[in-house]
Every structure is written in structure tokens, then in C-alpha cells.
Structure 1
Amino acid sequence: MRYASVALCAFLTVAGTVGAHAQDVTLRLSHWVPPSIAPASKGIEPWARSVEAASGGSIAVQIFPAQQLGKAPDHYDMAAKGIVDLAWVNPGYTAGRFPIYALTEVPFMADDSIKGAQAIHEWYMENGAAQEMGDVKVCFIHPHAPGALHSKVDITGPAGIKGKNIRPAHATMARFVSLLGGGPVQVPAPEVREALSKGTAEAVTFPWGAMYDFKLTEEVPVHLDMPFYLSAQVMVMNKASYEGLSAANKAVIDEHCSPEWSGKVSSGWVEDDLAAREKLKADAKQRLNTPTAEEVTAWREAAEPLIEEWKARVVAKGGDADAILDAYKAALQEHGAAY
């Protein structure tokens, strides 16, 4: 019996060691886009698999796509409250909640999303993350290539927005549409096609790849070919989920929550967007309009009130708006991402 007990103890020790290295924790990651499209397949998925590989298998990331666990606007709270461990958030879906971060939504400020992702990550961690997203851990910033305006008819200057219903990418773009005399139709990305097909909306601000991802080419075949705006999603992590990790696994997460990873994660989505733009250009049923220099100037001047409104909201929250704005511009310039 003595030898049997020794053998049993040895077996349990080996089994326990193997089990500890096989998988210590499973992190539930939620997002709200179909799993096959670029934001998920070329951004979120590779990041999650890299986390698993870097942990030597002690972290597993279980992905729940396409609003399976909650609606798109709810994802920040899902992470903050621990409903999920990780959530992919569009801050612009909750107007007014993240006033500092909303600066990234102001159009005509950045023209390179990979470099821009790194710039935004560095800038926000120093100028707003602790104040606005202090109840979660910010992991990475995930913009698409600069998005465009896609419509049923030609719109090349800001005057063309007046009287039209337009689905904006986020709260700041919704305000821009209102300033120009249009009507914002605010629905999450998965619901855009229905809004366009029913005539609820006549145009949409969307990344290029979304034309194919959400099957919109027949609904809005006219495209304004200029770097119109950014929508930079954020991957956030529940703080308790992070604090509950081993030191080694915390190090893995820290390594994957960096400006460098923001650039890496964004690159796949950007490549997909630019390929979609080329595909649209080659399609005789689609029309890409390049604005004149005068029209570009008109667009940029039309957006200037958005900066002043942004400043007022930040000041109302006790922030130094001018310093935060200067820091953002400097970060974009430093990374070569300024428009």
C-alpha cells in the first residue's frame, strides 16, 4: 500500500504540473462584428491567438462575435462590470461618455490609420485613459483605414449633406451631419444595410471594406474618395480579470496591450480596406468622386466648429482642452499620421 500511495502521489504531482501548464485561465472576449470580416479575422483573432501562444497555452481566449453576448453600445459596460473579460468597444456609440477620446472622431485630422493607431494609443494613455476608462485596462486601439462617405447620389462638398439622412460612424460624425443640415440616423454597423434598403438613410460614413462586409455596394454606389474620418475601436479588459492572472500571464497581457500592438492589429484591417477601395474602383457599377482642392478646404472649414465643441465638453469636465489637443496633434505629427 505504501508503494501504491507513493506512486499515486507522484502521478498526481505530474498530472497537476501538466494541468497547470496546459491552461490556467479562459478569457471571454466579446465583439459585435461578423467573425469573417477584417476587423475580426485580421485584427481581433490574430491578437487573441498571439496571446495564447505567448502564454505557452496557459491562457485561452474564447471569442464571442456578432453581438452574441450583448449589443454593440453595451460592450464597454460588459467589460467594466465583468460580464466578459475582454470587449471590443466603439466609444462613439455612447455619445458624451468619453469626451477626451472623442477628439479621435473629429474628421480630417489623421490620414494614416496604422501610424495613427500608435499615436492615439500613446496620446490617450497619457491624456485621458485614466480619467475616462479608469475602470478597465486599455489594451489596444483599432481603427480602420480612413473612412469615406458612401451615398446613393453624388456628394462632393459639404453643401451636399443638407436635407439628407445619413448614418454616421459615431457621435462626432452625427454632430457633423447635423451641423451641415442633414439628419443623423444612428444604428450599429450590422443594421446599416436595413436602414439604407428601407430608405431610412441615404448615405453612410463607413470604412471601404464595409461596402463588401455588409453587402452595401448596391445600396450606396457613389463614394467620396478622400480620408474623411477615423473610427478607432478600443479593446478593453476587466480589471479584476487582469488582476486575477498570474504574474507571467499579466506580463503576456501587458506585452499585448501596447502602441506597437495597436499598429499591428490595425494593419490587417487597413490592408483589407485599401483592397476593397481598389475593387470598388475597378467596378463599373461604382463611382468614386475625388473632391477638388476647394471642396477639401470647404470640408475642413465646415468641421472646425467640432473642435470648439469638443473643447467646451472637455473643459466642462475639468480638462485642459488646449493642452490635450496640442498633444494629440503632436502625436499624429510624430508618427507621420497627420492629415
Structure 2
Amino acid sequence: MRKAWLALLVAASVTPAFGQDKTFELKISHWVPASHPLQKSLEDWAAAVEKDSGGTIKGKVFPAQQLGKAFDHYDMARDGIADVTYVNPGYQPGRFPIVGAGELPFLISDAKGGSAGLDAWYRKYAEKEMKDVKYCLAFVHSPSSFHSRTKKIVVPEDVKGMKIRPAHATMANFVTSLGGTNVQSSAPEVRDIIERGVADGVTFPWGSLLLFGIDKVTKYDMEAPLYVTTFVFVMNKDKYNAMSDKQKAAIDKNCSTEMAGVVGEHWGKFEDAGIEKIKAESGHEVYKLTPEQTAQWKKAAEPLVKTWGDGVKKNGGDPGAALTELKDSLKKYNALAE
């Protein structure tokens, strides 16, 4: 009897107390520099999860493609190479057609409300479109436009004959429809391809233009809310499913529409601040469009809605209903462009 009691005491001293959660160390991966605002957003996200889990879920952020290439981040979360990843769905044309609605020109007016509106709308679609992973949240950066080295782009016809690195699949379709040629590359590679003449210009947000050094190789900057890029945070399903209910609740609390708005706002402020910095640089011409020129761009962009819709239909979706729902959600969060 005494031996049995001693054995229980020893066991209690080396094993967790009954009901205590297992500790998880999350590998959180992204592909922009550590100086990008996304780094802090992910560090803040990890800190919030750690606090809400009572310290049983910790996270370490790996920036700058340390764990894998930008294009691979969705599959990295699916396969467990990383536990949480930052994904640009538009890097893989045709794979995630529904979320591409957020990329349509002249649709989203700002980063914070646009992120919340996009996320609230996309949640039900993500269950099917991103079923290989646990969807966390979606967000956008501030509306952005063209930056070029060789030629000032003022009206849609100016894109004809140019080589453009597009932000995503929708902008790639736009460039093609205008008679331009697409040059595919991830964000960290853009400066190099423009410097070497492989591309003449890029669609890119303002603050990031400076961060990636692209301002050093471009000259003309269109100040117009032409497009945004959609992004998502996703998580490895097996890692999430291995957690306790309390730990899942901590993850879910921080994979929310409210958090999407927080991430979008933080990044949006960074991008917006870049406009004045570019204007202050010598050798840059920042220009706005007249109402007539803007009308030309909107007219030229109209076929993109049909192209997006055709992609959704191929995957069994209803593009008309989806786009109406997205606009209603953006309107709710005061982020529907006029």
C-alpha cells in the first residue's frame, strides 16, 4: 500500500495536473521583411493568443520567406511546414476564385473597413474554398495603383505594349485586356525585375514601394484607388484539432472579423503614409486622374467582373449573389467605394 502511494506521488510530480492543457509552439510564417507592419501584426496576434490560452499556446514569427517561398504559403499551412501562414490568394490564379472578388477595381475604399467587410463576407465561402486549412481571417491593404519606370500611365490605352508585374490574378487579367504583358514575381523580387528591364512597372501599395526599394527604380506614380489585394491568415488543421476546447477558443477569438479590421488598419496606415514620402522624393512624378480619366478606367475594368464570375461558376458558385453580398458587407463597414 505504501509503495503504491509513493508511486502516485512520484507520478504527480512529473506529469501535468489533471486537465492541464498541452503546450503548443506555433511556427508563424510570412514572406515580407521583418520591417513590414505585418511582422508586428503577427507578433501581436501571437501575444493575444498566448494570453487568451493562459500561456499554453506560444508563437514565433518567421519573416522573409525563411520557411518557404511566398507562393507556397497556403500549402505550407496545409502540410504543416508552418502552423500559421500569410497568404496572397491571387498568387495562384484560379485556385481561390471567390475571394478574388475583393480584388475587383474601384470596389473597396479603405483598409480597415475593407478588411472587416471582406472577412465577414468570406467566412462562409472559406469553408469550401480553403477547406484544406483552418481559415483565420482575411484583410486588404489600402487602395493602390500603377508605378512605372519608362512611361506615365494616365489612361487605359497607355498600358498597351508595357510589361507589368501585377499584384494578383485580377490585375493580371486587367493588364492583358489592355494590351500589356504580365511579368509574374513575388513582392521581394519586384525591384530586381524592374531594374533589369524585365518589367516596366508594377501595381503596388505606397508604403511597401519604399520598403522593398521599388521607389529607387520607378519614376511615375498614379495616385488613384484602382485596386486592393486580398490576403488571408490560415492555420494547419491538424494542429488546431489537436488543441483543447479552451485553446481552440483562444485561436477562434483572434481569428475574427474584428481582428481582420485591426490588421488591415495597421497595414493601411503604413501604406497611406508612403504617399507623402514618395511625393517628397526627387525624381518621382505623382499624379492624380481627372474625373474623365477615372471614368475611362472604370469602363475598362467592367469586363473583369465577368471574368471573375466565370471563374466562380466553374467552381459551382453563384457570382451574382456573392458580389451582392460582398458589396452589402462593405457598405455595412463603410468601405464600399463610390
Interval of TM-score (by shorter of Structure 1 and Structure 2): over 0.9
Whether the 8 Å contact between 1:311 and 1:321 is mirrored in structure 2 is: yes
> 1:70 is paired with a residue of what secondary structure?
coil
Unaligned stretches of 5+ residues in structure 1? none
TM-fit CA distance, 1:221: 2.4
Aligned position for 1:310: 308
Aligned position for 1:111: 109
Computed over aligned residues only, the root mean square deviation of the Cα atoms, in angstroms, reads 2.2
TM-fit CA distance, 1:253: 0.2
**Separation in 2 of the partners of 1:258 and 1:68?**
27
TM-fit CA distance, 1:284: 3.6
Letter in 1 for 2:138: I
Aligned position for 2:196: 198
Cα offsets for 1:27-69 (capped at 9, x unmatched): 111111111112223x222212221222222111122211111
Unaligned stretches of 5+ residues in structure 2? none
Whether the 8 Å contact between 2:135 and 2:234 is mirrored in structure 1 is: yes
Whether the 8 Å contact between 2:78 and 2:235 is mirrored in structure 1 is: yes
Cα offsets for 1:70-93 (capped at 9, x unmatched): 111111111112222111111001
* 2:278 equivalent to 1:280: yes
* 2:133 equivalent to 1:131: no
**Separation in 2 of the partners of 1:142 and 1:45?**
17
Aligned position for 1:99: 97
* 2:37 equivalent to 1:35: no
Aligned position for 2:259: 261
Letter in 1 for 2:197: G
Whether the 8 Å contact between 1:141 and 1:234 is mirrored in structure 2 is: yes
> 2:225 is paired with a residue of what secondary structure?
strand
Give the stretch that moved more between structures: 218-227 or 174-183: 218-227
**Separation in 2 of the partners of 1:150 and 1:290?**
12
Aligned position for 2:62: 64
TM-fit CA distance, 1:166: 0.6
TM-fit CA distance, 1:8: 9.2
Distance 1:250 1:157, change over 3 A: same
Cα offsets for 1:213-269 (capped at 9, x unmatched): 111112112210011111121000111111101111111000001100000111111
* 2:234 equivalent to 1:236: yes
Distance 1:201 1:15, change over 3 A: same
Distance 1:11 1:226, change over 3 A: farther
Whether the 8 Å contact between 1:21 and 1:58 is mirrored in structure 2 is: no
**Separation in 2 of the partners of 1:318 and 1:249?**
35
Runs of 4+ in 1 over 6 A off after TM superposition: 2-9, 20-23
Letter in 1 for 2:94: G
> 1:330 is paired with a residue of what secondary structure?
helix
Letter in 2 for 1:44: L
**Separation in 2 of the partners of 1:244 and 1:283?**
51
Question: Identity across aligned pairs (percent)?
Answer: 41
Letter in 1 for 2:29: S
For normalisation by structure 2, the TM-score amounts to 0.93
Letter in 2 for 1:54: D
Whether the 8 Å contact between 2:116 and 2:139 is mirrored in structure 1 is: no
For normalisation by structure 1, the TM-score amounts to 0.93
**Separation in 2 of the partners of 1:338 and 1:96?**
25
